Amino acid sequence: MDVTVGPKKVRCVGVAPMECLVVDGSLFYQRIEGFDYVEGYEYKLQIKRIKVYTKDTVPADASLYRYELINLISKRKIQ
């Protein structure tokens, strides 16, 4: 799937207070494996969502999925 990552992380609360990426305008609590984020750039990425748990086996503080970078489509400096 293709997504857009915003140029700034924002404060959010998962298990504990943290900073989240903004992906397609929404908070994104997960890590994208293989993606090296640098603040100040807007990214267009092709990523893959991989199911790692079922609803019955997912730990309380985990997601059903992990995300992996497939392709960096673009990286644009935001003023």
Mean pLDDT of 16-22: 93
Structure tokens at 57: 């086996």
Q: Which residues contact 10 (CB under 8 A, 6 or more apart)?
A: 19, 20, 22, 27
SS3 assignment, position 8:
coil
Give the separation between CA 34 and CA 19, rounded to whole angstroms: 18
pLDDT classification of 77: cutoffs 50, 70, 90: very high
Structure tokens at 6: 């915003």
Question: Apex CA 46: angle with CA 27 and CA 30, to 5°?
Answer: 30
pLDDT at position 55 over 80: no
Mean pLDDT of 71-79: 96
pLDDT at position 63 over 90: no
